[in-house]
Structure 1
Amino acid sequence: MDSLFYRSIVVRELARNRASVTTCNLKLIIQLEQIGFRVDGYENFSLEIIDESHRVNTINSLIDLEALFSDGRDWSPEELVLYYREIGKIDRNFKIISWKHKNSYSIQIR
């Protein structure tokens, strides 16, 4: 795995009743724990989402940490943040990661 996970948080899930992220960066792990994330396996952290307000607050906290929101279909993290921005609950830009291959990706700001 390349150094992406040593310097960033990658958001893998937001749509259901939990948020799931990946990172190896100790400083970011401490910050994730401060907002309620708990270790869910090697390099994986999760947070139970209580309600929509909690989800929006979690998204804003992840944007503050410059997390990379995974793109994709079927309510990917990117799609969910775009939806919240469209309805006015998120009002700022965020970073998106698009995977081309296992260790090949692009990062955009939207």
Structure 2
Amino acid sequence: MVIQRWQTVFLFIAAVAMGIFFFLPVSCMMGYITSILNALVTVLLLVDIFMYRNLKLQKRVALICICFCFVSAAITAYLSSVLDIATNWEVQLVCPVVAIIFTYFAYARMKADEKLLRSYDRIR
């Protein structure tokens, strides 16, 4: 079986990265706001996988997830530096960055699919 929609794989990898970040100690110490934000991003990424019928909505949700990942990483970095948490939070911030990168890859593949669909419409 060949996976024909690479954005599904990329979104799943991003969801796994944010799911791992949700359970890391630095994310748990930040409080409810970052925990809720991380859980929301993880769920949105998983839901975005199944929005393949509506490509425009899927692209919009992917961009929202990228923004939320940036916000989550920024809040975590700021609070970690302010609270002087003794954990190695710089290494743990790799998870949101991985999620941002793979969500962007998925968004790029969605744009490529949309371009391909438009080219087929022109042929008809």
Q: Same fold (TM over 0.5)?
A: no
Higher strand share: 1
TM-score (normalised: structure 1): 0.35
**Structure with more relative contact order (C-alpha pairs < 8 Å, separation 6 or more):** 2
TM-score, normalization: structure 2? 0.32
Decide which structure has the larger Cα Rg and report it.
2
